[in-house]
Amino acid sequence: MKLTRGHCLCGTIRYEFEGKPDWVAYCHCESCRRHTSSAAASMLGVKVTAFRYLEGTPGAYESSPGVWRYFCPKCGSPMAYTNEEKWPGEVHLYLGTLEDPAAFVPTAHVHTGEQLPWFDLHDDLPRFEKLGRGQKPIRHGPKKG
Ligand SMILES: [Zn+2]
Ligand SMILES: [Zn+2]
């Protein structure tokens, strides 16, 4: 099984996971925006059983009950997200922490109901108001006008 590795800015936190991510997407929710201090977050989901930290122990902040956001305690890089209720058995990683962030390509935009009005991407990917799973996209491609 192919291994993919990632690390924070300073290299204190290193991780790897086996196989391909379950999904790769941009998240436009406010919590991801605040955690990453950027317009949107690019993330991928992997099974907890396929994932492990190789070095370091991330700091963890419970942003709401059962929702954890992990970061490097030294350099502050956002690293991961878990949600026991909504995403049991999954860990969500930020694409920017991958050793090769070009290795996986996002296929959707989620939580575009919270998207910033001045930010969009010129791709034809489906836009979901909230989550993508089992939902119909509200549009494909950037907002017009
Ligand atoms: Zn670090
Ligand atoms: Zn989000």
Residue 145 lies in a domain: no
Ligand nearest to the CA of 45: 2
Which contiguous run of DSSP H or E holds residue 32? helix 30-36
Residue 34 lies in a domain: yes
Residue 8 lies in a domain: yes
Domains in the chain: how many in total? 1
What is the 8 CA–ligand 1 centroid distance (Å)? 5
What is the 137 CA–ligand 1 centroid distance (Å)? 36
| CATH code of the domain covering residue 102 | 2.170.150.70
Q: How far apart are CA 99 and CA 3, in angstroms?
A: 11
Residue of 40, 39, 36, 46 lying closest to 6 (CA atoms) = 46
Q: Is 84 in contact with 96 (CB distance < 8 Å)?
A: no
What is the 30 CA–ligand 1 centroid distance (Å)? 23
Show pLDDT as tens, one digit a residue, over the chain (145 residues).
Answer: 899 999 999 999 999 999 999 999 999 999 999 999 999 999 999 999 999 999 999 999 998 899 999 999 999 999 999 999 999 999 999 999 999 999 999 999 999 999 999 999 999 999 999 988 888 999 999 887 6
pTM of the entire structure? Answer: 0.93
Strand order across the 3-7 sheet: 3-7, 14-18, 51-55
Q: How far apart are CA 62 and CA 83, in angstroms?
A: 10
Query: For residue 99, what are the domain limits?
Result: 3-140
Q: How far apart are CA 76 and CA 118, in angstroms?
A: 26
What is the 125 CA–ligand 2 centroid distance (Å)? 17
Residue 91 lies in a domain: yes
